[in-house]
Amino acid sequence: MADTPLAAVVMAGGLGTRMRSAVPKHFHEILGRRMVDWIIGVGRETGADPIVVVASPTTREQFADSGVEVAVQETPLGTGDAVRSARAALEARGGDVLVLSGDTPLLTSELLRDLIETHHRENADATILSAEPPDPRLYGRVVRAADGSVVKVVEGTDATPEEQAIREINSSIYVFKADALWPALDRLEPKNVQGELYLTDAIGIIVDSGGKVAAHIARDSRQTDGVNTRAELAHAAAVLRDRINEAHMLAGVTIVDPQTTWIEPTVEIEADATIEPFTYLRGGTRIAGGAEIGANTVAIDAHIGAKATIGPFCYLRPGTVLGESSKAGTYVEIKNSRIGDRTKVPHLSYIGDADIGPDTNIGAGAITANFPHKPGRPKGRTTIGGNVRTGIHNGFVAPVEIGDGAWIAAGSVITKNVPADALGIARPRQENKEGYAARQRDD
């Protein structure tokens, strides 16, 4: 397989009207990644180079940062026309062309490598990725000859009763020899008044020309499932969630309830971390060993140190770095801040744009106020040293610094720097008016 050059074409030009969405089907997200990007990713894992995405004129710019070549299908005239749109980018190359559909996010690179291996073993001009789903519905049936080679693909609506009884269906994923694909596309003819050209017809053209067509049956038919509706999108997301969670668990991560835990594929978790239910870990989040992520936590692009304790009901926003054995507790939100080793932010606090040293305790209800009222001014930053003790209901109006070992009195709004080992108090002196409440009742 390594000796034969391999390119890939990803068909992603359709709008997907059954999604009932202003967003083109291929750009709906699954676990933080656009659906089409899942397919591009597995294409890369096969070693395909280049990867050419067939886009519509209105979506071509959506692939500017995807590291792929883009071919534009000016008018949606069927799958055959879509692949033909990629010809200019590939026809000077020999080898094989892997044809992928941009709405099959459950594909794996292992399955595609098996498909390519079958293609080479059979010395086929084209090889179909087929499947045997429990319900073949109106999918195209793969009709084989006595020797196992493929004779044709019959659309479900055109199949005879005998052909409809065939369980093997066409997934619309193929690998072609390039020198067989391009001539077959030249001979495609429209089959309807819209003038659409179907890639399945290229299979019959290759067979009629004396070429050989093989098929590789997917062991798990779900991997070939396409997404056309919101319901199918949710189903695909659940399957991908389960794959990701299983991989983490096999690597030594405890996930208490995998069905309610959503982890994006870019997240890294070390062994012996524990993830409790209803948690969503996103983006570039990194979790070190021994950390405990409490229920109902959301972490986005956060770095969580070894043996740290998070949640429950905690929100870690981008730029959060939690030190070893630190704590971000219940109803705590942290953003763009560094929390030192063994420092605790136990509950009911917002910490944003702050640096907090080690061994500090942040009392309940702490707020860092870093957004200036005057337009055009940058956000300030709060710096709290090590071994600091803050009280309940403290506000820190940035930019402000709290020195090492300082204490902050409860209810204080700190607007000036507090020196090391000092007590910071910023609140009115309490005054008690004897008998005031009784007099109000008497009135």
The set of catalytic residues is 347
Nearest residue to 307 (alpha-carbon basis) of 320, 294, 288, 321: 288
How many angstroms separate the CA atoms of 36 and 4, rounded? 25
Of 139, 50, 144, residue with least CA distance to 98: 50
Amino acid of residue 110:
E
Token representation of residue 346: 């136990």
Measured between alpha carbons, how far is residue 12 from residues 25, 58, 103, 323, 390 in Å? 9, 12, 8, 43, 55
- Cα(433)–Cα(273) distance, integer angstroms: 55
User: Positive or negative, the Cα torsion across 360, 352, 272, 269?
Assistant: negative
Residue 157 is which amino acid? T
Helices (H), 198-298: 200-208, 230-250
Report yes or no: 127 and 183 within 8 Å, Cβ to Cβ: no
Report which DSSP code applies to 50.
S
Torsion angle, CA of 414/417/423/425, rounded to 10 degrees?
-30
Residue 399: cis peptide before it, omega within 30 degrees of 0: yes
